[in-house]
Copies of this chain bind each other. A is one copy, B any other.
């Protein structure tokens, strides 16, 4: 018995979420897998497996730029052993979910430790878009007694930069906020810039639109730019470009555009590695060649291979 609509309903808030970072969304997706496994019809192991595959695909399709959702689904499906009964399958999947949750939280804490050394005392720091990894790194540096100010911009079209500003300010950091195209006015006053990212692969990192102009501006002004991300953001090159599938309605940008004006609302873009000073991961500072090595070792469950996926 198929209930595709229930999974889609559970996943819809993830699809509509314009304000949360990828790690944050992956944590919420864990509860979706748990909800699906608790469905009555999942007492049948083969139904459970089929529903879990559907859930993994629906989550990835909801936010194709967000690699942690891909890894979460991949871990869940890889945890399922051939011939398990439903109790065993539920236990194995729950273990995989727990491991992912633990990894996401530990990653953020380890990244925060590495980032501390990159936050110069008494200086101005730039942060872009919203990333729970960036927020936790900056709040952690502040909690360890480092004083600094943060500049951030709105991050149109969704304005999630306001969420960043509010969370940093509520953690006792002085924040200077402006609109995105004023980057050129405030970046010269910043000693370093940080951004999160949604996925990372051989050609570069994918992050919220505006990251490319930030990166080009940083290079012009000689402001080092660090992308902060756990290795749960790493994906193979073919998956990396899935972000291009995600486009929001133009009306969210301009709801009264006149005839003859087509409004684009793309949310993500690729920033090549040569525009970024370094990646800061839970394993420390990584460069392009480390990413290639890591991605070369990734294994993808058959149900999530791009050829097989039909969502």
Contact = CB atoms under 8 A, between A and B. Distances in A.
Nearest to A263: B177
Interface string A146-161: 0000000111110000
A102 to B, nearest CB: 32
Given A162-B254, A177-B253, A264-B178, A184 B213 contact: yes
A182 interface: yes
Contacts of A154: 156, 253-254
Contacts of A179: 156-157, 180, 209, 253, 265
Contact of A261 (B156, B169, B185): B169
Copies of this chain, complex-wide, total: 2
Given A156-B180, A254-B177, A269-B185, A166 B209 contact: no
Interface string A241-266: 00000000000011001111111111
A175 interface: yes
Contacts of A262: 174-177
A307 interface: no
A227 to B, nearest CB: 15
A158 to B, nearest CB: 10
Contact of A166 (B156, B175, B258): B258
B261 A184 contact: no
A299 interface: no
A264 B220 contact: no
A183 interface: yes
**Most chain B CB atoms below 10 A, which of A156, A165, A182, A210:** A182
